[in-house]
Amino acid sequence: MLRLRSQLQAKKLPPDLVTLIDTIAIAGKDIAFRLQQGAMSGVLGSAEKENVQGETQKKLDVISNDLLKTYLLESNTVRGIASEEEENIVAGHDHAKYLVAFDPLDGSSNIDINSMIGTIFSILHAPTTETVSQADFLQPGRNQCAAGYILYGPSVMLALTTGNGVQMYTLDQRIGEFLLTTDHVVIGKDTQEFAINMSNQRSWAVPMQNYVNDLLAGSEGPRGKNYNMRWVAAMVADVHRILCRGGLFAYPWDNREPKTPGKLRLMYEANPMGMLVEQAGGSAWTDVGPILDIQPETIHQRVPVILGSINEVTACVGYHKNN
């Protein structure tokens, strides 16, 4: 099995991009180690403060964010970084070629119950000017040169795309290296599985309520087949399942915060996951258009998300178009 760095070099990627991806992988190994220590290392529980999103941070949110910042800024490959956990960008090296946006620990509410969580990242080309600003990060998802996530579960896995399909790597704990375990990830066009937080159903827009009601109606309903529902409460885990066996993941708009387009962040979650899903043959949309075509307005912009098996995404979006 090929090691991550060897595989990236075989693809003839720019050396700085290889180093950058390898740096993220090293940070992931460090985060994974701390997670595995659990209560023994005192990293569980609340940090008793809020992030820029107004969410209560877990101790490991803060630790993971600091680890990624340290590794990335010391790599000399990053012009600037943007984190879901911080209000402003952090400048890196003036002549570096890349920008990185990341969610350091997606699904952190799962930490204390020892369930799956992960790190999500998006890599963009830096502008030609030396001084970096927030505006430099506001690029559509189509501009990403790489994206991926590290899943911390029964095994630690890296899902990665550099614009030529999706590969999966598994961390071999014996040698401390990510090894290529799946070379060509493909999402089936059809599915009978969906992931959505059903507790919010009463607050969704009518098209989404109608869509899910038709799924629940099963083989006797208009969709003509039975569906299973899965929900891990961590986007990284639900998307990983889709990459492994197909399905649909949705986090739609709801009327509890009517002025907020959605819960998930465009730069840190929707864009990198959208790129992975599209590169594996799936589809990634909001209720009105492809996620990767959105021109970001702010680094913490939120969007509704519908992604997964292409025919099921098309069906779901169709309910909104026909409303």
109 is in an annotated binding site: yes
73 is in an annotated binding site: no
Same domain, 290 and 228: yes
Same domain, 59 and 168: yes
What's the pLDDT score for residue 239? Answer: 98
Q: Which tokens sit at 210? A: 């109608």
What's the pLDDT score for residue 52? Answer: 57
What's the pLDDT score for residue 153? Answer: 93
107 is in an annotated binding site: yes
Concatenated DSSP letters of 160-202: EESSS--EEEEEETTTTEEEEEES-----S--SEEE--GGGGG
CB 226 within 8 A of CB 193: no
Q: Which of 121, 153, 182 is the last residue of a domain?
A: 182
Measured CA to CA in angstroms, residue 150 lies from 21, 40, 119, 282 at distances of: 11, 23, 5, 20
Same domain, 20 and 60: yes
Query: What is the chain's pLDDT, residue by residue, as a tens digit (323 residues)?
Result: 799 999 999 999 999 999 999 999 999 999 999 888 777 666 666 545 555 555 556 688 889 999 999 999 999 999 999 999 999 999 999 999 999 999 999 988 888 888 899 999 999 999 877 789 999 999 999 999 999 999 999 999 999 999 999 999 999 999 999 999 999 999 999 999 999 999 999 999 999 999 999 999 999 999 999 999 999 999 999 999 999 999 999 999 999 888 888 899 999 999 999 999 999 999 999 999 999 999 999 999 999 999 999 999 999 999 998 76
Q: Report pTM.
A: 0.94
199 is in an annotated binding site: no
| Total residue count of the chain as it appears in this document | 323
Range of the domain at 304: 193-321
What's the pLDDT score for residue 36? Answer: 85
Same domain, 159 and 18: yes
What's the pLDDT score for residue 151? Answer: 98
State the Cα–Cα distance between residues 201 and 209, nearest whole angstrom.
6
Is residue 48 classed as helix, strand or coil in its secondary structure?
strand
Q: Domain holding 230: CATH number? A: 3.40.190.80
- The number of domains in the chain is 2
20 is in an annotated binding site: no
Same domain, 175 and 219: no
321 is in an annotated binding site: no
Q: Domain holding 173: CATH number? A: 3.30.540.10
Q: Which of 182, 212, 242 is the last residue of a domain?
A: 182
224: Cβ contacts below 8 Å, ≥ 6 apart: none
197 is in an annotated binding site: yes
283 is in an annotated binding site: no
